[in-house]
């Protein structure tokens, strides 16, 4: 495959942009090789600047539930573009967007739009702190909630010691209010709650995790977590930036049958434009400025172009409930193909799937938490990634990401992918 233009552009990009990219994972660091510069996307395919075509499963890291550039989103954008790009004043579309989100996700009574998933999660934690008057919050090892300072904290050595920053620039002051629990381990929550009685404002969790590969909570765990939060007056935040409108119309909370107090969204709700949102119980959301004292703002929040794309995406979901059947059909078809390949190859790699999110780990142990996920042989994943790429299949350039299937993937796309999967694994194991 000729990628000479991408190689040249990457060299140039690194002179002007740190690492040549505007978000680190795009640089292919964990799989090696030269990142591809993309020219265009259409349906299930993207095209690089050298004219190579790829069937792809990243979907801009989640937003493209319907594949690239679906006509109903493109048309909505063109229509809005005629009227203007940004007013910094209220628009009717923002009411329509809020009503639609509230209609699709029963736990949401009020919602505020922001510009990214990071903004949504950091605002939700601030709202929970403002509402409870408490400082600390609990997150889980292996979950990702964006790059706000107080999320970039991992567990210290002893289970009950303070956390430590995972990045320079994050202060020890931040670390002392972030507590880390183990995914699917209710004892770790009970210990932290007992140790910090009356001090915990929130628990934030990816209820179906997609940032340590795909890992789902157990029914028992999430129900117990809900009742501990109720007993202790802790705000339960579901980070559904990835799972919202992907695993079901009502997100992971619909799949699990558990209602959080606050939910964060991103990715799909922007229809490919930069959008996030947080919402939930009215009594918490009423604490947000200007109606309440918790400050939160954004020059471009609720931006008309972003709202028109996001609204078009969510309206399509509302009007076409069959979307989730198509996603399930496509994703399970791929999973079956992969599993049958693994059988033929005599490998029992862990495969996790929830709806249109799935992940193959290069370990034969079951993966239910972060400790198990990191047993995956990431070097082997890197080889697999490049074998697939050479066969025209573009997967996430990192092991601990999901394979996102869209409604745009055809049976032909999926068959080609399954064939490439067999050949790629046969070549490396």
Ligand X SMILES: *Cc1c(COP(=O)(O)O)cnc(C)c1O
Interacting residues toward ligand X by CB under 6 A: 116-118, 121, 144-146, 206, 210-211, 239, 241-242, 266, 276
Q: Is 216 a catalytic residue?
A: no
Task: Between 238 and 384, name the residue whose CB sits nearer to ligand X.
Answer: 238
Per annotation, catalytic residue among 144, 183, 381, 394: 144
- CB-based contacts of 46-50 (< 8 A; 24+ apart in sequence): 46/394, 48/3, 48/5, 48/6, 49/5, 49/6, 49/9, 50/1, 50/2, 50/3, 50/4, 50/5, 50/6
Q: Rounded to the nearest whole angstrom, what is the least distance from the CB of residue 244 to ligand X in the complex? A: 9
Task: Between 222 and 342, name the residue whose CB sits nearer to ligand X.
Answer: 222
- Would you say 123 and 278 are in contact if contact means Cβ atoms under 8 Å apart? yes
Q: Rounded to the nearest whole angstrom, what is the least distance from the CB of residue 267 to ligand X in the complex? A: 6
181 φ, ψ to 5°?
-110, 170
Q: HEC string of 250-286?
A: CHHHHHHCCCCCEEEECHHHHCCCCCEEEEECHHHHC
Task: Between 210 and 279, name the residue whose CB sits nearer to ligand X.
Answer: 210
Q: Rounded to the nearest whole angstrom, what is the least distance from the CB of residue 264 to ligand X in the complex? A: 7
From 57, 71, 112, 83, select the one nearest 316 (Cα to Cα).
Answer: 71
Q: Give burial (CB, 10 Å; 0-12/13-18/19+) of 74.
A: middle
Helices 219-232, 186-195: inter-axial angle, 10-degree rounding = 10
In DSSP terms, which residues pair with 47 in a beta bridge?
Answer: 40, 53
Task: Between 36 and 242, name the residue whose CB sits nearer to ligand X.
Answer: 242
Q: Is 144 a catalytic residue?
A: yes
Task: Please report how many Cα atoms fall inside a 13 Å half-sphere around the Cα of residue 176, on the Cβ side.
Answer: 3
Per annotation, catalytic residue among 267, 281, 287, 315: 267
Helix (H, G, I), strand (E, B) or coil at 180: strand
**Number of residues that this document lists for the chain:** 429
Q: Is the peptide bond before 325 cis (omega within 30 degrees of 0)?
A: no
Please identify the residue of the shown chain whose CB is closest to the bound ligand X.
117
In DSSP terms, which residues pair with 46 in a beta bridge?
Answer: 41, 54
Compute the distance between CA of residue 146 and CA of residue 122 in angstroms, rounded to an integer: 8
Q: Rounded to the nearest whole angstrom, what is the least distance from the CB of residue 4 to ligand X in the complex? A: 31
Q: Rounded to the nearest whole angstrom, what is the least distance from the CB of residue 421 to ligand X in the complex? A: 24
Q: Is 239 a catalytic residue?
A: yes
H helix or E strand, kind and range, residue 353: strand 351-354
Task: Between 3 and 354, name the residue whose CB sits nearer to ligand X.
Answer: 354
Per annotation, catalytic residue among 177, 182, 239, 261: 239
Task: Between 24 and 322, name the residue whose CB sits nearer to ligand X.
Answer: 24
Task: Between 56 and 206, name the residue whose CB sits nearer to ligand X.
Answer: 206
Q: Rounded to the nearest whole angstrom, what is the least distance from the CB of residue 206 to ligand X in the complex? A: 5
Helices (H) and strands (E) in the chain, counts: 14, 18
Residues marked as catalytic: 144, 239, 267
């Amino acid at each position: 495959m000729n990628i000479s233009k991408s190689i040249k552009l990457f060299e140039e990009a690194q002179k002007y942009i740190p690492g040549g990219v505007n978000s680190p994972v795009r640089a292919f660091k964990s799989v090696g090789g030269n990142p591809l510069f993309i020219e265009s996307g259409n349906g299930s395919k993207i095209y690089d600047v050298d004219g190579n075509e790829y069937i792809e499963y990243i979907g801009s890291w989640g937003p493209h539930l319907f594949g690239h550039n679906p006509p109903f989103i493109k048309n909505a954008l063109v229509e809005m573009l005629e009227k203007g790009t940004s007013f910094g004043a209220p628009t009717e579309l923002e009411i329509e967007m809020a009503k639609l989100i509230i209609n699709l996700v029963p736990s949401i009574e009020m919602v505020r739009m922001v510009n990214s998933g990071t903004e949504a999660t950091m605002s939700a934690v601030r709202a929970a702190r403002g509402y409870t008057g408490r400082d600390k919050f609990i997150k889980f090892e292996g979950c990702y909630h964006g790059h706000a300072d107080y999320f970039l904290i991992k567990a210290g050595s002893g289970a009950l010691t303070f956390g430590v920053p995972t990045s320079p620039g994050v202060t020890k002051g931040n670390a002392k209010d972030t507590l880390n629990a183990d995914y699917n381990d209710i004892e770790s929550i009970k210990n932290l709650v007992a140790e910090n009685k009356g001090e915990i404002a929130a628990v934030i969790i990816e209820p179906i995790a997609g940032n340590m590969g795909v890992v789902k909570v157990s029914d028992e765990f999430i129900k117990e977590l809900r009742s501990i939060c109720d007993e202790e007056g802790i705000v339960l935040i579901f980070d559904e930036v990835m799972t919202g409108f992907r695993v079901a119309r009502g997100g992971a909370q619909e799949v699990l049958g558990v209602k959080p107090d606050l939910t964060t969204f991103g990715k799909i709700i922007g229809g490919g434009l930069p959008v996030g949102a947080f919402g939930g119980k009215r009594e918490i959301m009423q604490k947000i400025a200007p109606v309440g004292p918790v400050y939160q703002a954004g020059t471009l929040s609720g931006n008309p172009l972003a709202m028109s794309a996001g609204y078009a995406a969510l309206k399509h979901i509302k009007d076409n409930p069959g979307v989730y059947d198509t996603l399930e059909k496509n994703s399970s078809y791929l999973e079956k193909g992969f599993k049958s390949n693994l059988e033929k190859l005599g490998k029992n790699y862990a495969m996790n799937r929830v709806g249109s999110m799935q992940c193959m780990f290069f370990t034969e142990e079951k993966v239910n938490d972060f400790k198990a996920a990191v047993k995956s042989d990431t070097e082997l994943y890197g080889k697999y990634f490049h074998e697939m790429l050479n066969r025209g299949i573009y997967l996430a350039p990192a092991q601990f990401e999901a394979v996102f299937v869209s409604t745009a993937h055809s049976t032909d796309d999926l068959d080609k992918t399954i064939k490439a999967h067999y050949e790629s694994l046969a070549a490396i194991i």
